[in-house]
Each structure stands twice: as C-alpha cells, then as structure tokens.
Amino acid sequence: MRGSRTPTTTAIQLLAAMDHHGVVRAQRQIASKSNEIPAFQPLLDTIDLSGTVLTGDALHTQHGHGAYLIERGAHYLATVKKNHPGLYAQVRKLPWAEIPLNHHTRERAHHRDEIRRLKVAAFRHIDYPGAHQAIQVVRWRRDLATGKLTIERVYLITSLDDFDATPAELAAWIRGHWGIEKRSRVQAGRKVHVIADRHPVHRSKKVTAWLACNRDRIELHLMPGYSPELNPDEILNADIKRHVHPARTRSADDLAHETRRFLHRRQRQPHIVRGYFHARHVRYTIQ
C-alpha cells in the first residue's frame, strides 16, 4: 500500500478478491513476514462462493486452494507455470498438436494485431484436486509499427467439465482475469477517484471507515439523490447504445464481442473519452 512504509516497518500488503467488473468483493491485510498464500482461505471465507468460478494467478495454484474451493462449492480456472514443475510438465506434454482448436479470436488494438487460440482437453488424471480439463491458450501478437511477432503459450486447469462451460466462456473468463492483472499494474501507485450514487451501501459505516483508512489511495465522490445525468458512466452508456446495435448480432457472445471492440476503439480515441467529461452536466468532474 502506497505511503504505508515507515522507517521501522515494511509497507502494508493487501490481498483482494475482485470480480471481473472491477468490484472488490473482499480484502485482507497480509501478515508481516508472510505472503499471499496463507491469506487466501481467510479472505474467501467472507464470501459466498457457491456456483462461482474463481480465477487467479499461478501463485495460488496450490493443492490446498483447489481442495478448499471444491469444498466451498466453487469452480476454478488456475494458471499453471513452472513454479509447479510436475504439474506444468504434465499439462504441457499433453498432445496439443492433435487436439482440435476450440475457440479463436482476432483483434487489432493498441497498435498491434493479436490472435488468441484456445484448446481444451478433458483429462481426468491431472494431479490437482477436482481438475477435469486442461487448457492451452496461444497468443500471437504482431506490433503494427515494427512488425515484431511474439508468441506466448499459457496453460491452465479447471474443475469445470465440458458440460459446465463452453470454450468461448472459458476464453472470456481467462481474458477477464488478464484484464484484472493489467488494471492492477496500471493503477498501482495512483490515487483512484470514484464517483458513485448515494446508495446506502456507499454511505455505510464500514465503507466510511475503510475510506478513512485508505484516504491516500482512494476518494469517493457521492452524487446527489437520483441524478443519473451527473454520472459520467451514463455518457459512455449512451455512446455504446448509439454504436453497438443488438439487432445486428446473432448471440449474447456476439454482442459482448462487439461491445469490447467498440470499447477498444474508444481506448485509441482519448479525445472522444475526454469529451465525455466536457458534457454540460458532468463538467464538474474536471473542475
């Protein structure tokens, strides 16, 4: 946590559970001289996990974590890397060349062309609690300015079987987790300003106390009662509705894909995004 280091103590470290919409569901301080692994279960004990799918980085691909999630009625998508050499070798050596392609996407954004290819293998003998399938994701990125091509292979395991989730859903969850990691890196060290409505939750004693303890990291700005015209999110929502037409899509996956494409396009048009905040009713956000 920025600003928490003192001459006699190390900086405070926090472990958070965040949904793929960017909402923090729980947060816990990591004990000094420890790491995230012992804090995993106490953090999730505070959340109802029934029927959920949890994603995490490779540090949390621990046998104890997998067994805990299964016991809590949750599923997992766990990244497998070389910090677990036996499990990594077992998944990497599957006959991926013989396994058919299950899902792929191609997008052009952030000055690069990117292709993602996903394969899924039902494999009941993975040495991990409750694991039913192994996943290989291959990401091809070509820098449009330099022409440089990079290829990255990522391996995962999941407790979901082929009846629980489609390859497209698996791909969306995996990409959602990468988005969380990217957001965490970008926001590290910055103070976050949140504009919210006056829902009782936003004004509760727990939220107020947490904000007071984290005033150097986050500041909450509450709008007047029922004033959607003052919410900058509504400007973006209106922009999406003008340019993304549900009638032109064939499925919910198509609609989600078109929405992501539109948002990626807006990321490359910062002048338009800045224009949101110059609208008459939301100009107060930049004053």
pTM: 0.62
Answer yes or no: do 180 and 210 share one domain: no
Res. 77 pLDDT band, cuts 50 70 90? very high
pLDDT digits (tens, 9 = 90+) for 93-108: 999 999 999 999 998 8
* Cβ count near 217 (within 10 Å): 17
Structure tokens given for 4: 């928490």
End-to-end alpha carbon distance in the chain: 28
Answer yes or no: do 213 and 116 share one domain: no
| Closest C-alpha among 193, 188, 269 to residue 236 | 269
User: Which residues span the domain enclosing 160?
Assistant: 48-187
Q: Last residue of a domain, which of 187, 210, 237?
A: 187
Answer yes or no: do 230 and 280 share one domain: yes
| Closest C-alpha among 87, 93, 92, 46 to residue 66 | 87
| Closest C-alpha among 180, 183, 141, 172 to residue 255 | 172
Answer yes or no: do 75 and 166 share one domain: yes
Answer yes or no: do 57 and 124 share one domain: yes
Answer yes or no: do 255 and 168 share one domain: no
Q: Among 58-62, 93-97, 246-250, where is mean pLDDT lowest?
A: 246-250
Structure tokens given for 257: 């894909």
pLDDT > 70? residue 24: yes
pLDDT > 90? residue 193: no
Answer yes or no: do 147 and 60 share one domain: yes
Query: What pLDDT was estimated at residue 182?
Result: 61
Answer yes or no: do 41 and 98 share one domain: no
More confident residue, 198 or 94: 94
Answer yes or no: do 166 and 71 share one domain: yes
Structure tokens given for 218: 């986050």
- How far, CA to CA in Å, does 266 sit from each of 18, 232, 240, 275? 24, 15, 10, 11
Q: Last residue of a domain, which of 145, 160, 187?
A: 187
CA atoms within 13 A on the CB side of 275: 8
Q: Last residue of a domain, which of 137, 152, 187?
A: 187
Query: What pLDDT was estimated at residue 186?
Result: 47
Answer yes or no: do 175 and 257 share one domain: no
Answer yes or no: do 169 and 94 share one domain: yes
Answer yes or no: do 161 and 66 share one domain: yes
Q: Among 30-34, 130-134, 163-167, 229-233, where is mean pLDDT lowest?
A: 30-34
Is the distance from CB of 284 to CB of 230 less than 8 angstroms?
A: yes
Query: What pLDDT was estimated at residue 6?
Result: 61
pLDDT digits (tens, 9 = 90+) for 41-54: 999 998 999 999 99
| Total tally of structural domains belonging to the chain | 3
